[in-house]
Structures are given as structure tokens and as C-alpha cells.
Structure 1
């Protein structure tokens, strides 16, 4: 039996499901929030992707479902169809062994609304999972009766805000009981989200789960200069080296994703594309093919890929560096999961120097690499040139330069001290000459003025 999850006093069928999934101990977010959610408290959980937040809300909420009541008891909103599908699958796993049937349903855009309405006329689900637009649509049609649900979960709240779905979520929340238990999960808590939280939450428990390490120690984090080369050429070369299992290539815009995917296809590479303009059905089909390993290479934007969990990513390539550094961490975190090794490769040009420096300020270190003759090799740190330029701006006396060269050879024990004294004397001499020159110039100027 799993003693660590038993401390939450969950129903036996949930403990059985946890054992079958293979969870051995609760994550930090689960430890901190499951007891509070069980007590009916509203919570805000700020944590990164892969911290175990889905089961943080599913376990206590499914534990409290009364199967005898044929009414909606939990509403879960999520900004993307893929994320809704993932939560739905996780919930199905948990209710599978329930002694009485717990009905879980998913409602997302791009699916058959009429069929959903017909089904709802017969039975209301206990747990509703879906995108805000479709849930609100079914509620407005009086098909989905959510007014009975005492709990609302808003997953990926920051992304919900980014994608403009907060108004829909607001309308959904307004249809729920006044003493609503609201659970917010988000990677970040933007200021624009705060008025909404204040409106519906009174003294919520707020937990910010700091990432243990910004990037997992199982990930090799490489930095490769494009040196003015076409990035698609560099990416193609990287894909052809070694034997990557599954590669996710990230770009900042839909146009760039299409450009990279098109360039790779033109070079004979089979590539899957994921961005916001891909129709829902097509996206679902592509995702299935990726999971079945029909595609080895996926090019995606951040928003389309966030909330998509692709198993077994061996390499992540940042074709461009994201302006939002949170996205950099999300991208790199796609690989090196479950203690498996992973490689993250970031391509950069001279204009990206400041962004690289900002990433390093987060405590992330890069290994500088270069691609040459079909091989990836170690190269010099990019800061080397800057340091070299800094040194050359101060001209060194040729005599001193000669002494420094000798010092490197470690000729005599006292030589370095001698050199130090010589450098001091040389700079003093220079300063005296400069002052004398300035004084003479002032004298000449004064003489001219007095004539």
C-alpha cells in the first residue's frame, strides 16, 4: 500500500489508482494544498509545469463526489483543448475503480455541440472539464446545469487571461453558488488577474511552490552561435547528428514556426506543426501521431505547446529565445523528465546577447558548443571576445607586454613582483607625461589670450 498518500485519508479506490499510476510520494504542491482543498478552502497554487498540480485538485475533489447525486459537483476550466483532454484522461484513471459510477465529461470547442446537448438532456455529469467558451455556451443553452457545483477550478489562469478567456470564466463563476470554493492554479499571477481573484475569493490559501532547481540536473543545456548562418540550416544539421528520440523545436511566432517547418520539409524532414492557427481536429490528429511516434520532430509556438504533455522528449531546440523568460524554463522543462537525460539547445545571434545574460541571471548556466563537419564540439565562452576587447582598449607599453609574456613562462620567482612594480611605474610615468602636456597646452592658450 502507498503509505505516503494515505495520510490524506482518501477513499480506497483513489489509493488503488495512485498505486497503479506509479506515484510513490506526493509532490510539494500536493502536500501543501490537498489537505486545504479537502477542508473546502479556496486556494491559489502558483507552481511550474510538471509540479503535480492536476492531481492536487483532482484527488480531493473526486474524493468528495457524491455519486448518488445526479448533478454537477465540480467545474474545471482550462484554456486549451489539449490540457482539457489531459485532465480528462487523468480523471478517468482515478474514477475507474470507484464503487459507484462517477461521471466525468469534457466539453471543448471543435466538437459536436448538438450531440453533447442531447446527452446532457438525459444525464448531467458529476465532473465537468473543458474550455471556457464551450462550457459557457452549453450553460447559456440551459443544457449544462452547473448552478449546483460548489467548486470551480481554473487551471493555467495566466494563460486563460493571455488568451482572452477570463470574461467567459467570470460568467461561469457568476452562475455558481455564492459560497463557492475556487481553486486557482497558475505558473504566474499577473496583476491583471488580481481583480478577478478578489471578486470571488475571500482569504484564499496562497502557496507559491518555488522550483527546486530552475532546470533539472539531468538536462544538458547547450548554447550555439548561428554565426550569421540560416537557422534552419543549423537546426537541420543538429537533427541529423546522433539519434534524437523526439525533438521539440520552439519559435516565438506562428509565422516562424511555419518558416522552420517549411524549411525542414524542403530538406526532406517529416515535421509536425503545432500553433494557434492549426484547426482543432487537425491539431488533435497531429498530437495523436506525435504520441504514437509517427513524428520525430515537432515545431511549435509557446502558447500552443503549453499544456501539451509529450512523453519522451529527448531534445528541445530554441530556434529563437522567448522574450518571456518563463517560457524558456517551460520549453527546456519538456525534456529531462522523470530523471531521464535530456538536451536543450539554444541558438543565438549577436542581437540575443542581452536575453542570454538575463537567462544566466536566473542561475542557468550554458555549455558553449559549435557545430562543425557534422559534429557538436565544445567551444569558447562567448564572453571571451568581450573580455579580450576590454583588455585591448588600454594600450600596454611594449616593454611591459614583453615582461608579461616572460612572466607567463614563470622564469624567476621574483619576476612577477618586478613586473607589478614596472607596470605601476609605467602608468605613473604616463600620467606625468599627460599632465605635463595638458599644463603646456594651458600655458600656450593663456599666452595667446594675453597678447
Structure 2
């Protein structure tokens, strides 16, 4: 099969790398971004996680690198060590046949002094890293980033959420006015707009709306935890089958620690990833997860965008995230590239409104429950609200009339009761309409 990326005029080393990766057909975001970036346009790219954003910007920008020029030509900022390392890994694989291209990764938790020493001898063509470490190296006059002609801000919404946007702003201010800037994000929050307007005069905006919020290949199930031990339930869900790789997401590092402790006590070999773990240890665990040394992983949302493994077959939301976007990122870890996956969301009594919010986004759940070790169809949590009353509730007045007439048992007494019910219904409807009109007038006056 002919590699369709050839149509973009990419250099042979990139096409060879794509062939090795078995990537031959561009995704929708790649179809739009690659030509625009090759023309030197600044781009705001918005698409869901797992849509191929990393290759969309790396391919055209690596294609433009001049290896005979010793200066920094491309800077890429990512909000977490895991994401920066992920981009670095992909970039290194794409440049495998171009050993003269120097690509370096600069993240927190690594030896800064050693990095400074190496930079005094030689600058990279491509500098990838977390905002804090990139700025530290620039301020130390070690990384000469000001020569770069292109700057990428990946996962901009996460950068904003984690409080790194002011640091990215400082980095961006160091570049020349004719800088090509590419900003990628799953969402573009309003608070991000001032930054975009400050550095991007006439960007090409590319929005790829997902056909489905959650991939068709994912079974998206919902389970109530009412009256159950949640940790025990998670253990049963993880061990009822044989998942290739299962991710369990929780909101806090304390929750991750508690779930991890329980699963380990049940004999499972399980990894945990959260911000409270030392960077070097976290990097080691992430590598072992990527090498498939673990079948089960418990993590916070920090890892939702940092684990990029196609074989994740099961995702369990042990807790509902505060930010609905994180739910999409979590579930987006499974069912990738058309592979089947299962996502199970656990919820507690009182969290129905949160589930309703997710449904409003277009996320559809199938209710399930665990019976005798088997997952079976559960009950719709809204079934009581949807159930129609068998008979109309009678007022105390009508009840009294019914009893009185029933005692008399005169001919036509049932018709008399029905007529009284109809009269009461008409009166109640008139009262209701008057109240609605009054409310509408009050609302109009208050505007």
C-alpha cells in the first residue's frame, strides 16, 4: 500500500520512519495541519485526544530542520514530563534515519547542571521539554532558544489548568516577531484566548470535531457503587477477565495510594502513577508500563495524557473527575485505532447530576451491575422519574367525596366523582397558568 504521506512532499527519512511505524494514512487533523505548517502558517489545532496531533506538527516541522545549521530551530513545550518524553520518543523515531538531527528532551527531575554543561558545547536543533525546565535553561543562558523559527505549545488547555501558561508566555516573548507558532489542545478555554491573541496575529484555525465523544469501539458502562466496597468491586472488575492493560483512574494521589494498596494486598502486580512520586521513579514506572511489565495501573489524571499505549483494553473510573474533559481523556486511553475497549465508570449516590452533565456532552452510558461474577444489564438510574403514575393523585376533597358517595351507592355516583375530578383538574390548570404568567412578568421586569 502506498504511503499517503508522500503527497505532502515530506523528506524520505520521514516517509521511511512512517513505514516502519506502519503509519500510511493521515488522520483528519494531520490532513489539515501538515500542509498549513509546511507553508509556514501559525496554527491553532483543536481535536480530541488520540487523533494524531503529535505527528501532525512533528512531521512538517522536522521536515523543515536544516541539519547544517547548528542553532536551535524548533522548541516544543508540553505541560508534563510524561507528555514531553512521549513527544521526544516520537520525534526521535521519526528522525532515526537522520542521525545528524539533534533532538533533546529537557524536563524537571533530571540533572540540570549536566544539561547546562552539554549545551555550552552544542545546541540541539529541536528542544522539547516542560515549560519550567526550558525557561530555567534559557535564563541560565545555556539554551539559545531565541534562534528558533517555530514554537509548539502542546496540550494548551492542560498547560493552563496546571498554571504553566505564564511560564510559556515568558518563553514565547523571547522569540522573533515572525515566529511560526503552533498551539494544540483538546479544548480552547476562554482564559487561553488572550495568550493566543498576543502571539498569533492571523493563525489558521483547525477544528476537528469528533463524530462521537467516545470512540465507537468502546463499550461505555456505568455502575452504581451503592452499598458496595468500592475497592473490592474494582478488584472484581479487573480480574473477571484478562485485560491486556487496565488503567484505573482516581482524582487524588491519596485515592490512588489507597486503591493501589488494596489491589496489591489481593496479590495483583499493579503500578501507580501520580504527582507525589519522585520524577525519576515515575519515569521508571512509565517505561515499565510501556514495556508491558504491568497489567494493571492506578493513576491520577496526570497520566491520562501521558500514557500512549494502543493496547489499553480496560479503563475504570474509580472516581468521577471534577473536570468533564478529563473524563474524555481517561476513556480516550482505550478503543484507539479501532481496537475494542471497555470503560467502566463507578458512581456514588448523589452523583447523578454529574452523570447527567456527561450525558449532556453526548456521552452515552449502558447501565451494568455485577451479579455472581458476571456483568449484566443494570437499571436505568432515572427509571423512577420516567415511570408514569398508574392513577392520578386525588386531593383530600375528592377522596372525601368519593367515600361519601360510595356509602350512598346511588346510581351514577361514579360519574359524579369523575366529574368532580375533572372540575378540580381544570381549576388546578388555571391556577398553574396564572402562576406561570406571574413568574414570566417578574422575570421580564428583572431584566
Q: Is the pair's TM-score, using the shorter chain for normalization, greater than 0.5? A: yes
Q: Contact 1:106/1:130 (CA < 8 Å) preserved in 2?
A: yes
> How many residue pairs end up in the alignment?
409
Describe how 1:351-390 pairs up with structure 2 within 5 A: 351-388=350-387, 390=388
Do the aligned partners of residues 433 and 177 (structure 1) sit closer, same or farther apart at CA in structure 2, a change above 3 Å counting? Answer: closer
Report the Cα distance in structure 2 between the residues aligned to 1:314 and 1:435, rounded to whole angstroms. Answer: 58
Q: Distance in 2 between the 1:153 and 1:365 partners?
A: 34
Shift of 1:393: 7.8
Does residue 391 in structure 1 map to residue 389 in structure 2?
yes
Q: Distance in 2 between matches of 1:350 and 1:260?
A: 20
TM-score if structure 1 supplies the norm length? 0.86
Deviations 1:56-83 (A, max 9, x none): 1111111111111101000000011111
Alignment of 1:12-27 (within 5 A): 12-27=12-27
How far off its partner does 1:287 sit?
A: 1.0
The answer for the alignment partner of 2:259 in structure 1 is: 260
3-state SS of 2:346 partner: strand
Judging changes above 3 Å, is the alpha-carbon distance between structure 1 residues 393 and 176 closer, same or farther for their aligned structure 2 residues? farther
**2:126 counterpart of 1:127:** yes
State the partner residue of 1:222.
221
Return the offset for 1:268: 3.0
Q: What SS class does the counterpart of residue 142 from structure 1 fall into?
A: coil
Compared CA separation, residues 124 and 435, structure 1 to 2 (3 A): closer
Give the Cα–Cα distance (whole angstroms) in 2 for the partners of residues 195 and 391 of structure 1: 53
CA deviation map 1:239-296 (0-9, x unaligned): 2212222111111222222222222223333321111111111111111221233222
Per-residue CA distance 1:152-206 (angstroms, 9 max, x = gap): 1000111111111112211111221121111000111112111111111101111
Kindly state the Cα deviation for residue 396 of structure 1 after the two structures are TM-superposed. Answer: 8.3
CA distance in 2, matches of 1:282, 1:131: 17
TM-score of the superposed pair, with normalisation by structure 2: 0.86
Name the residue aligned to 2:46.
46
1:202 corresponds to which residue? 201
2:31 aligned residue: 31
Name the counterpart of 1:331: 330
Instruction: Tell me, yes or no, if the aligned pair for 1:275 and 1:305 is still in contact at 8 Å.
Output: no
Deviations 1:25-68 (A, max 9, x none): 11111111111111111110011111111111111111111111
Does the residue aligned with 1:5 lie in a helix, a strand or coil? helix
Give the C-alpha shift of residue 11 in structure 1: 1.0
Any idea what SS the aligned residue of 2:75 has? strand
Q: Distance in 2 between matches of 1:222 and 1:190?
A: 28
For 2:426 and 2:30, the matched residues in 1 are separated by: 70
Distance in 1 (alpha carbons) for counterparts of 2:33 and 2:345: 35
With 335-344 and 75-84 compared, the bigger mean Cα shift is at 335-344
Matched with 2:421 is 430
Distance between the aligned counterparts of 1:198 and 1:435, measured in 2? 59
Does residue 212 (structure 1) correspond to residue 211 (structure 2)? The answer is yes
* Residue number in structure 2 paired with 1:84: 84
Give unpaired runs (5+ residues) of structure 2: 396-413, 428-447
Per the TM alignment, residue 96 of structure 1 is displaced from its structure 2 partner at its CA by: 1.3
SS at match of 2:138: helix
Q: Residues 379 and 94 from structure 1, CA distance in 2 versus in 1: closer, same or farther, beyond 3 angstroms?
A: same
Shift of 1:223: 1.2
Q: Distance in 2 between matches of 1:130 and 1:314?
A: 29
Aligned twin of 1:448: none
The answer (yes or no) to whether the contact 1:218–1:340 under 8 Å persists in 2 is yes
Question: Which runs of at least 4 in structure 1 moved beyond 3 Å after TM superposition?
Answer: 392-397, 423-429, 431-436
**For structure 1, which segment, 342-351 or 376-385, has the greater mean C-alpha deviation from structure 2 after superposition?**
376-385
Q: Deviations for 1:291-325, whole angstroms, at most 9, x for unmatched residues? A: 23322211111134323213411111111122322
Shift of 1:429: 4.2
Distance 2:193 2:424 in 1: 64
Give the gaps of 5 or more residues in structure 1.
398-422, 437-451
1:209-257 per-position Cα deviation (integer Å, ceiling 9, x unaligned): 1012111111111111112212112111212212222111111222222
Looking at structure 2, the residues matched to 145 and 393 of structure 1 have their Cα atoms a distance apart, in angstroms, of 79
The residue number in structure 1 matching 2:409 is: none
Structure 2 CA distance for aligned equivalents of residues 434 and 139 of structure 1: 76
Q: Secondary structure at the match of 1:391?
A: coil
Superposed displacement of residue 110, structure 1: 0.8
Contact residue 218 and residue 335 of structure 2 kept, 8 A: yes
Partners of 1:271 and 1:3 lie apart in 2 by 39
- Asked if structure 1 preserves the Cα contact closer than 8 Å seen for 2:307 and 2:333, the reply is no
In structure 2, the residue matched to 1:240 is: 239
Counterparts of 1:69 and 1:435 in 2: how far apart (Å)?
86
2:321 paired residue number: 322
CA contact (8 A) 1:228 1:349 kept: no
Q: 1:433 to 1:167 in 2, by over 3 A?
A: closer
Change in Cα spacing, 1:194 to 1:432, as seen in structure 2 (3 Å) is closer
TM-superposed deviation, 1:107: 0.6
Q: CA 1:14 to 1:434, structure 2 compared with 1: closer, same or farther past 3 Å?
A: closer
